[in-house]
Structure 1
Amino acid sequence: MDHTKSTFKFQSPHESLRNFVLSITEAARVLNTDLGEPELVDIILENVSPLTRRHFVFANKPSSIQDLYALASLIEGTLLSEEEYLNAHAPAVASRGQMGSIPGATNSAPSFGAPPLGSRT
């Protein structure tokens, strides 16, 4: 039986690359497929989610399961850095957004096209 044609699993949007690699390699082991490591790596790379694939832009193509786990570590580090950055800057963005919610604050400054106050008749 050809297991490559009968078994499909795509990475879910909230599944880490590490867990996806683990689930595919475990499935291949349980199903006792005759897939070699390079074929298994290709199957995994073909079925990753677009959210994961966007991190592959500057990475070398993995050629082994160990390379996939190294790539997973790199992606996890990138995601952690992005999260830390957003958390550090989110309060500043939120406080700027609240300025417009103060009554009277949104209309207190003249618009760009309004004449200066002294020249109105």
Structure 2
Amino acid sequence: METQFARGSMRDPRAGEMSFHEWHARWWQARVVEPHTLRGDASSIKNHVLPHWTDWEMRAVTRMDVQSWIRGLVEKGVGASAIKRAYNLLSSIMRAAVDDDVIAVSPCRNIDLPQIAVKPPQ
């Protein structure tokens, strides 16, 4: 196992013990986006993502936990667009964790999101 780890073919199983809040802070500092996007994302993360996930261990988050979080947002009356933005941010955070070998797979797979109402043309 030590040889596999040294070669980079095995991830450190303790990496997933990192809290979501710790990983989010690292991910946020590494992002390269436009200032306008950064402001909108900061609001979504502050209002919808961190209040739920901040104390979770990265390895503890499952697909069903993510789906339950989405349902909770719907039940709170959060709009479909805001839910999609929050989900996309969570998904991006989790993909980065997979890319950095913090977790093995992203829990943000096959998640049902509320439909965004299409406005009819005027």
TM-score, length basis structure 1: 0.31
TM-score, length basis structure 2: 0.31
Q: Which has the larger radius of gyration?
A: 1
Q: Which has the higher contact order (CA 8 A, sep 6+)?
A: 2
